[in-house]
Amino acid sequence: MADLSLGIDIGGTFTDIVIHDPGTGRHHIWKQPTTPADPAQGVIEGARRLLATGAVAAKDVGRVVHATTLFTNAVIERKGAPTGLITTAGFRDVLEIGRERKFELYDIFIEMPEPLVPRSLRREVAERLAPDGAVEAPLDEAALMDEVEDLVRRGVTSIAIVFLHSYANPAHEHAAARAVAARYPDISLTTSAEVAPEIREFERTSTTVVNAFVKPLAETYLDSLAARIRDLEIDGPFFLMLSNGGLTHLDEAKRRPVQLLESGPAAGALAGAYFGSASGESEVLAFDMGGTTAKISLIDGGEPSIAYGFEAARTKRFAEGSGLPIKISTIELIEVGAGGGSIARVEELGLLKVGPESAGAEPGPACYAKGGQAPTVTDADLLLGYLNADYFLGGAMTIDRAAAEAAMAPLMAATGLGLEQVAWGIHDVVNETMAAAARVQITQRGKDPRAYAMLATGGAGPVHAYNVARKLNLGTLVCPPAAGVGSVIGLLMAPARVDRVGSMVSRLDELDWDAFEALYKALENDARAVLEGTAAELDQLQVRRLVDMRYVGQDSEVVVGLGAGPFTAASNDALVEAFEETYRQLFTRTRPGVAIQVVNLRVSLSAPIKGGGMEMARPDDGGEKAVKARRAVCFGEPDRYLETAVYDRYRLASGQVVEGPAVFEEKESTLVVGPGAHCRVRPDGTLIVTLPADGG
């Protein structure tokens, strides 16, 4: 019976692959070096090996679930399709004008994000809609086709169509798309009405252009990967992870690939919420550190926070306004250029810096012995005793300590420090980088870091989590089983989900309630049609309605959760109450006597997919047999090495208690715990670490 799940997450250094049996909890895991030139190659090689070593028949795999950073990287590296933009006359330069704001007001050398479409490939056509969708000037299709003909002649293979106020009436965009498709069927097309049908021309145009920029890449890559997976004789449906933490089917992913930009990090946040709740922690700082980046997400009340927009390809990290705005639903997180492959260097002032440049999968850290010579975080972790050179990836990959030492030589010469001091400096600097990012994420929410438990996943996350948690003065660290493939675990537990948005700008006291309810119904019907294509269990469908609201005269909105409806004029007081409660939570006070305005309507539909359970079977041998070795491990200062017990994590018994210092090894990751910590093993194999109370 085909009921197994195959999960695939392509990272910058490793591609994580898991086969899971939701009935028994048995699972098989493999980390395959990522193949940047052809990411699908690493997927197929890893899947083939996992099927063979796990003694699993391909015909028993009932579904494939995939997340990737490929499309995000294409935007960052500007490696998408040659893209053109067709827009309303007078709006050719909206991508560069933006909001007319500088993210650094007094920086005379400020670098603003470069538009994905150069001005020469942005074209205007005569047409005009009023804000209510009424046609003020018809679409000039002859002029449209003249512009498209010239774009095609210039090598454009993908076109974004964005007309003024099309969120209120998409007729002109639809007509333009039909005309272009009829003459140029091989041109990839994206309309703003299908990817971002909401007010604000700059953000809507930016989102549509990004979708157009990556759409041909998505179509080619996803079709190729799906075909190569079928060649393995896996016939189950192919699902893609969305940035909002839900799954969708292949056709929807190819049509709106912009929704996949944050798919990998979103999956890690789902794992953080799941294992945090299972461990009794509802307030969790989900920390996922891989080979290239670290992702940090806050889980409040057991649920990851959802944002309705983010910025891609920022020119200055953490600086709002320095990236390309994307209007999609996404799990809210911070991504830091700090991973196992992050390269250390000494700057002109003699300061040690780590990242964001990474050795990646090729050539990788120096200790991988694949040609890398730059000193990286993984090299430092090996020298500090955190990693076992003979048990890296469970012994499938041997790493070279001598190569790591050689890579440190230039840093030692530049700083005058010894080998252990340089290694500790790299480890400590990258930990502080991640702790600083977490502080930003937490304080922007008005929260106290001490209220959170840290949950560590990723190949490098458990190695660094203890010291990062100490820097944040956290009291609890949670490390789930198979932590090294945490994002894939999140993939396999994700439901099918569709989010839709539509604009309806109106004062609440002037709202057309029939139109309000009708728009919600239309959005829900559209979302339900997509869910039906995922074979989701619609008898367990959950429908959530939300609305963007603000006080009249304000420039930004707050997202307000509502009931299931239907809504009528009698719902007015309930909407006012919901808005004021949300506003009060964010800003502590409301504005009496000021009219309230509705701006956007949102729906979120989700339903489980068969095979989506995530019970994890584990051996339970326990006892002293869990101690496999002892070695010197660095804690706290570069010359403070302690003889430390090394535990085989697979042999830990449920309820077993271990006092730090300790190192817990499993095939995909290593958890390092310092002196004074108290570790307890949960029945599912999760390690709960109570940190010493003296802070860090």
Cβ atoms of 243 and 266 closer than 8 Å: yes
Q: What is the pLDDT of residue 318?
A: 65
Alpha helices in 117-262 (DSSP H): 141-153, 171-183, 192-195, 201-231, 250-255
* Highest mean pLDDT of the ranges 68-72, 87-91, 457-461, 627-631: 87-91
pLDDT confidence of residue 529: 94
Segment 197-223, tens digit of pLDDT: 999 999 999 999 999 999 999 999 999
Nearest to 617 by CA among 648, 650, 646: 650
Note whether 247 and 240 are within 8 A (CB): yes
- Burial class for 43, CB neighbours closer than 10 Å (0-12, 13-18, 19+): buried
Relative to beta strand 238-241, strand 61-68 is parallel
**Quick one: pLDDT at residue 126?**
97
As a whole number, mean pLDDT of residues 247-276 equals: 91
CB 564 within 8 A of CB 545: yes
3-state helix, strand, coil split of the chain in percent (to 5) is 35, 25, 40
CB hemisphere CA count around 366 (13 angstroms): 21
Q: What is the CA radius of gyration of the chain?
A: 26
Q: Which residue has the higher pLDDT, 406 or 72?
A: 406
Give the domain ranges of the chain: 4-75+220-260, 76-219, 342-428, 498-607, 628-677
Per-residue pLDDT reduced to its tens digit, 319-367: 777 889 999 999 988 888 788 888 999 988 888 998 888 888 788 899 9
- The answer to whether residue 54 scores a pLDDT higher than 80 is no
Average the pLDDT over 150-156 and give the result: 97
Q: Which fold would CATH assign to domain 498-607?
A: Dna Ligase; domain 1 (3.30.1490)
- pLDDT, position 638: 59
Q: Determine the pLDDT at residue 91.
A: 96
> Other CB atoms closer than 10 Å to residue 363's CB: what's the count?
15
In the chain the first and final C-alpha atoms are separated, in Å, by 52
Query: What DSSP string runs through 360-381?
Result: TTTT--GGG-SS--S-BHHHHH
Q: Please give the order of strands across the beta sheet that includes 641-648.
A: 627-634, 641-648, 662-665, 670-673
Q: Which single residue is written with the structure tokens 């940190």?
A: 691
Query: Nearest 5 degrees, angle CA 284-CA 286-CA 291?
Result: 165
Of 20-29, 274-283, 619-628, give the range with the top mean pLDDT: 274-283
Mean pLDDT, residues 535-561 taken together: 94
Residue 304 Ramachandran class (φ > 0 left, ψ -120 to 50 alpha, else beta): beta
> Cβ–Cβ contacts within 10 Å for residue 620, how many?
14
E-assigned strands of 234-309?
A: 238-241, 247-249, 284-289, 294-300, 303-304, 306-307
pLDDT score of 23: 77
Q: Do domains 4-75+220-260 and 498-607 have the same CATH topology?
A: no
Consecutive H or E run containing 441? helix 419-443
Write down the mean pLDDT value for the chain.
90
CB 482 within 8 A of CB 27: yes
pLDDT at 652 over 80: yes
pLDDT category at 694 given cuts 50, 70, 90 is low
CATH placement of domain 4-75+220-260? 3.30.420.40
pTM value is 0.89
